[in-house]
Structure 1
Amino acid sequence: MNLAEHLPAVKTFLAVARAPSMAEAARALYRSRAAVSRAVGDLETALGTRLFDRHGTGLELTATGRLALARAGRIDAELAQAARICRARTGTLYDGRRLQLVVQLVALRSVSRAAVATGLSQSGASMALSRLESTLGVPLFERAKNGVVPSDAAVHLAVHARRTFAELRHLHSDIASIAGVPSGSVVVGALPLGRTQVLPEALAEALNGRPGLRVTTVESHYDHLVGELHSGDIDIVVGVTREGSDDSGLVREPLFTDRLVVLAGAGHPLAGRRVRAAELAGERWILPREGSPSRRLFVDAFHSAGFPPPRPVVESADLGVVRRLLSSGEVLALASARQYFFELSSGLVTELDVDLPPMTREVALLLRSGAEQSPATSAVIEALRRRSGL
């Protein structure tokens, strides 16, 4: 169920929940009492639960209604922030289809492609955009030869719209989990180190006994994942954080300290003995990309040992690529001991005893500051904490 279509009903529900009576809410919304009652009923049908108990003396929020009220309040706060940026009334933004169109236009920079993504015709999308800009009184996009260019107001509106949709997604989880078993969807941003051992084990634990839990992982580079976390499209990011990155608005929780090691194929001539830094400097290397945290640690370790860092013959952090190249027995690789746990355990590769300073980095859990985690998200977070401590 796409709750974005029911965003106007969320506005109505919020007014009813906050007003002394449905009649008072109807007057505040400039709508008939019957229309207000119908909107609340439609939202209850979409959610599959009652939000109010009806009594002769009025309405009383149910347990699920109280959960919905908390999410609806957060949605109203997000749209209020967007309205201030656009200098508009909050109520004008309670239109899920138009908000989805803005999100797609900012992402795709094309009216025709955004129309397809939102299920509109191109003329319908153009008309919806014109009406929204007229209602807000501010231009959101500049029409260009090859598409559209979003204004600052459009970019900010898209962020708050995406956070609004995230709140609607979590509302499903809140209600589905009221019986005590976390349900709903969780989106996890996974950096390379996080997704090879800790994350799969944590997901297996979280999914065990929770048939209603659904997890989507997003694999990308750090800046992209953090951007999606800020906007609410991703709930959690797991991996090595970046020094010097702008993590404002995020909460960083250390999970464990990871150890970087020098790996070689089982039959490499340097395996099985202490290896001096001078010997390492003359070897052929597979290294992470320049500028990555791992590469910086590698460079610093060689400088501390008094040697210039070797240049790689291959730059890659892909497990499959590195494993295959190591099996040739002719190269060395810098990698995480945790990431190659299975290869080390099976004897496919070996860790060299090297004369270099220790190379460690922090693996952390990133969350958006102020976000109210759903029960489903909380279940995954708790599993990550437990698996990281093993």
Structure 2
Amino acid sequence: MSDPLPAAQPVVATSRRFLDQRLRMQMLRLVDAVEAQRSLLKASAVLCVTQPALTKSIQELESILQVRLFDRHSRGMIPTEAGLRFARAARRILADIRHLDEELDELANPSFGSITLGALPVAASGVLPGALTRLKLSNPNIKIRLHQGSTEQLLPLLAANEIEIVVGRLYQPVMPDDFTRETLWHEPLSICARSDHPLFSLPLVTIDDLKRYELILPSLGQRMGQEISDLVSKLRLRSERATHSSSHGFIREILHATELIAITPRLMMAGDLARGTLGIVPVHIGSPERPAGLITVTGRELTPTCQTFVGQLHGYVAEIVERSIGPMNSSG
């Protein structure tokens, strides 16, 4: 069922808008929902309002703003440039209100904080489980929300204050931006295999020894995929029968159950390396260091709960480096 298509009325700016006096929180929520769903039917379900009521609210808001926010098409609601800008602003304001609510809760009861994190795939499966376990053990009442995605997906959320901090691989921006990047560790590409793999019984492992085994390779992002592909070509490993997977769990199971070997960022398997069920094959493959750590908004103060998390992350990284899962340098 398609959205009804009320005739779009031209909106002409004629006077001051007085947005600070006339906008209501529900108006921010409805634009957020319509822009995200691109459908009046779906947005009305999300907001628990009727379609006629939603249409009327949009028309009222467009009258206040003196611009059209959406173009009505048979394929749905298409935001105008003004609609996109309003939606971005609405999400920032709603995020700020949520954070204010959480900060007031923290003032009332400091042990009941919350944190919203962004994580790149390798960090989400590697260092974060251990760091968050430490956080929950020391602060069991803290609420944690985690958004996993690529750098391109997470940075807009960080800028809009929908997440407080991003954890993962640090890429230098093409152009200067408003983010601060702090390197906490390095995650070179390494050869990973189960701890009782035949390679670990050799007195000295060579590249030719690696060529005897089939590969399983992570495909968790275009940039990392290209780095792994380049390394496989450089080492002239057997890639024609390689298994590719975007599932961390699947790669773990295959490594534990077979003699396949993987080329992965070293800390992608941090938990299994710490438990001793997987190991890093001691062979030089010439991987670059690949810095990783934290991304924050320059000049934005972290909440007390987020500062506590950062402290726990520092502690966990130091712990795994001490266990010789690191240091993360290019020799591995």
* TM-score range normalised by the length of the shorter chain: 0.7 to 0.9
Instruction: Tell me which residue corresponds to 1:287.
Output: 217
Query: How far has the Cα of 1:373 moved from its partner?
Result: 3.0
1:139-162 CA-to-partner distances (Å, cap 9, x unmatched) read 110001021101122112111111
- Once the two structures are overlaid, the 10-residue window that deviates more, 221-230 or 250-259, is 221-230
1:263 is the counterpart of 2:192: yes
Say which structure, 1 or 2, has more relative contact order (CA 8 Å, 6+ apart): 2
Q: Does 1:240 align with 2:203?
A: no
| 3-state DSSP of counterpart to 2:114 | strand
**Distance change >3 Å, CA 343–CA 114, structure 1 → 2:** same
Q: How far, CA to CA, are the matches of 1:145 and 1:287 in structure 2? A: 43
Q: Which among 132, 137, 144 is matched to residue 66 of structure 2? A: 137
Q: Give the counterpart of 1:276 among 206, 230, 234.
A: 206
1:217 aligned counterpart, secondary structure: strand
Task: Give the whole-Å Cα distance in 2 for the aligned partners of 1:225 and 1:93.
Answer: 32
Which ranges of structure 2 fall in alignment gaps of 5 or more residues?
Answer: 1-15, 320-332
- Relative to structure 1, the CA distance from residue 311 to residue 89 in structure 2 (aligned partners, 3 Å threshold; closer, same or farther) is farther
Name the counterpart of 2:90.
Answer: 161
Q: Is the 8 A contact 1:193 1:339 kept in 2?
A: yes
Specify the alignment match of 1:108 in structure 2: 37
Q: Distance in 2 between matches of 1:212 and 1:172?
A: 16
Cross-structure match for 1:170: 99
Are the counterparts in 2 of residues 258 and 338 from structure 1 also a CA contact under 8 Å?
Answer: yes
- Is the 2:150–2:221 Cα contact (8 Å) retained in structure 1? no
Structure 1 segments, 4+ long, off by >6 Å, are: none
CA distance in 2, matches of 1:209, 1:290: 31
Query: Which residue of structure 1 lines up, in the alignment, with residue 326 of structure 2?
Result: none
Between the aligned residues of both structures, percent identity stands at: 26
RMSD: 3.0
C-alpha displacement at 1:227, in angstroms? 2.9
2:289 aligns with: 360
Equivalent residue in structure 1 for 2:182, among 212, 234, 253: 253
Give yes or no for contact 1:186–1:214 (8 Å, CA) kept in 2. Answer: yes
Q: Take 2:162 and 2:60, find their aligned partners in 1: how far apart are those partners?
A: 26
Q: CA deviation at 1:282?
A: 5.9
Helix, strand or coil at the partner of 1:373: coil
Contact 1:172 1:184 in 2 (8 A): no
Aligned residues of 1:173 and 1:375 also touching (Cα < 8 A): no
Maintained 8 Å contact 1:267/1:329: no
Unpaired segments ≥5 residues, structure 1:
1-86
1: CA distance, partners of 2:301 / 2:140: 23
How many aligned residue pairs are there?
A: 303
TM-score by length of 2: 0.79
Match of 1:117 among 43, 46, 52: 46
Higher mean C-alpha deviation, range 275-284 or range 125-134: 275-284
Q: Cα gap change, 1:333/1:189 in structure 2, threshold over 3 Å: closer, same or farther?
A: same
**Aligned counterpart, 1:148:** 77
Q: Which amino acid aligns with 1:187?
A: T
